[in-house]
Chains A and B, each alone.
Chain A
Amino acid sequence: MNIVENFDLYAPKLTDKKEYFSPGHRACQGCGEALAIRLMCKALGKDTVIVNATGCMEVISTMYPTTAWELPWIHVAFPNSASVGAGVEAALKILRRKGKIADRDVKTVCIGGDGGTFDIGFQALSGTMERGHDVLYICFDNEAYMNTGIQRSGATPFGASTTTNPAGAASIGKSQWKKNITEIMVAHGVSYVATACHSYPVDFMTKVRKARKVKGPSFIHCMSVCPTGWRTPSSECVKVGRLIVETGVFPLYEVEDGKYRMTYQPEFLKPVELYIKKQGRFRHLTPDRIQEIQDRVTLEYRKLMDKVEGLHSWKELAD
């Protein structure tokens, strides 16, 4: 067991002292995904089985014969954490029913990157959610295939330069908008769906605890800053995570049985430019491109607020 120094000083009431995701793993300095996973583990506690898709987090945490995981953990492949999780959940259910394992709740938690969730693992995710397995799926979205060297994914934002969608004289980088995975999960009828970010640890951990309690599928979309892929200093990870929320690019909300609620709402949204200017992956964007992104963010934010508040702001738009 690893104890954080000065824990009693910083976070005595908020969370468990116990670390389930040990330090010493090989994530880059300032990795938002690793930070998010650590927080996730603390919120989940010991009665958890983790099913990890291939990606940065699997690679950096389990270099044989070492492991950073102090929770039962399995990795099988890239596209299938949701289906491996379905199998784990089914097994835990029947083994408990048959009295072969202890009679208590153990939660199956599937984790994957944006590639493992939005793209290659999408079918498995949809199947597991549709079948109603008692599984919490958390997507750690760093907006590209980072493990293989910053390639474009369905989660990469408009205008970002990646190694397969590079910016150049004839390209602005990614020319499509990000897939809205959260809405897709809502459309599956998943009873608890939330967005989160490691830069809001209490909000994230509260959501993890809430999702854990759901009987049936639940989904958290956790924005995770990747300094390496986003081309930001590693010391800025938490700051950039806050900016993505404060600018409205990635609002924090939850959808419980179809009902939307903002869990953190800045009084005024900061200009998107502040967020964009922090990152090398957007370095090539001209002011009008940034304005295009700003307009989209504003629209999407309003659409979200419509869902939160009813159809109220649609009316305003029409005026």
Chain B
Amino acid sequence: MSKRIGMEIAIAAAEAVALCRPEVIAAYPITPNTHVPEHLSDIVAEGRLDAEFICVESEHSALSACCGASGAGARTFTATSSQGLAYMSEIVPIVPAMRLPVVMIIGNRALSGPINIWNDQSDIMYQRDAGWISMFANNGQEVVDMAIQAFKIAEHKDVMLPVNLNLDGFQLTHVVEPMEMPDQKEVDAFLPPFKPLASLHPDNIVSMGTLGLPDIYNEACKARDEVLKKSRKVILEVWKEWKQKFGRSYEPVEGYKTKDAEIVLLTLGSMGETAEVAVDEMRKKGVKAGLIRLRLWRPFPFEEIRKAVKGAKVLVVLDRAVSYGGPGGPVFSEVRSALYDQPEKPFVMNQIIGLGGRDVPVVDFVKIVEKAQKALKTKPMDDYEIYGVRGS
């Protein structure tokens, strides 16, 4: 039976990962994800989890060791943030290319420079196109649930792709929340042991990671894109099963008061919770505001986005990363391209908020809704704005 707990989310994440019985864990400390591997090493040291914990000398080696371990057929986990993820980045696209179902928790943190340990989502956006399944949690419960789901999705025989689960640094990693922690029996019943399609062992000889010349590279990329897109089906199945077994529902895109909404905010990650409060406040004032929380970032849920914004007049995409010199925040460009061909679509605007840990309280979301009200009339041509820049 699940147990009701109150716990720091990073610690709970480690507990949830341990319930999945990972066999090899390789990680390197970096704020704010550090408590995840630290607590996992506690669990291993206490003898509660039989795993090989490799205290690698860098994140590059962490993900490299995960490749070796996963290639040899072990269930494999790592966790990192920001510079750590950037330091892994040579290996990041190789993991899905080799179809290694590594699970990684990312405690999202701003990329240097200037060096900054606080939260935004520039770290994962920097790795956006690598071919991983990528999803975001809004709160502690979702972190616990999604960590367990991640292994099942990654290791499904039709998927065999790595999954990264993103939780905002500090806002989530360091916050104590009440959560339901499934028990070992429930997780064992939900998550079958990892059955690799091929593994490094002399009983079954295989060459992994061979050289792809131009005559095959193209096809390899196509296959990779297809399998990532097709993973959607498995993701939805896994979420459905989760709902049946644990009662909590997960969708690629989740709406809050969107039915009759004219102004819709779209968030990714923990700011969705604050935005919800703002929507309630605006509703009290008679403004038809609503909220869409994007959970699944890759494969991108085009259809669900289109459906969710139906009827809205203005859609404000809230990004927590900048695509310097580009078309706006990364979520914005995706959403806008999802809507481009639609005969009826809302006016889409982009506010980039909460960079490097800049606090975004309810009042800012309210102000953003007010901006959207204005934009409804003026339809400004600016693509995007970095919100709340001092002195501007």
Residues of A within 8 A of B (CB): 46-49, 51, 58-59, 62-65, 67, 69-77, 79-80, 82-95, 97-98, 100-102, 106, 123-124, 126-128, 130-131
Contacts and interface: CB of A to CB of B under 8 A. Distances in A.
A87 B210 contact: no
A123 B90 CA distance: 15
Contact of A84 (B68, B73, B201): B68
B60 A80 contact: yes
B207 A49 contact: no
A201 B26 CA distance: 37
Given A91-B74, A95-B23, A95-B74, A49 B60 contact: no
A72 B68 contact: no
A52 to B, nearest CB: 8
Question: Which of A49, A90, A98 is packed against the most chain B CB atoms within 10 Å?
Answer: A90
Contact of B68 (A67, A86, A123): A86
Contact of B209 (A75, A86, A123): A75
Interface string B49-69: 011101111101110111111
Interface residues of B, number: 46
B89 to A, nearest CB: 11
B54 A91 contact: no
B111 interface: no
13 contacts: A46-B202, A62-B209, A72-B201, A73-B206, A77-B91, A79-B60, A80-B64, A86-B68, A87-B69, A91-B70, A97-B50, A102-B201, A123-B61
Contacts of B56: 83, 86, 127
B335 to A, nearest CB: 34
Contacts of B67: 74, 76, 84, 87
Nearest to B102: A87
Identify the 7 closest CB pairs spanning chains A and B, nearest first: A87-B68, A127-B57, A87-B65, A83-B61, A91-B72, A91-B74, A87-B69
A129 to B, nearest CB: 10
Nearest to A133: B54
Given A73-B206, A90-B65, A94-B51, 10 more contacts: A58-B211, A70-B205, A74-B209, A80-B91, A87-B76, A88-B71, A88-B200, A91-B70, A95-B23, A127-B61
B69 A131 contact: no
Contacts of A106: 201-202
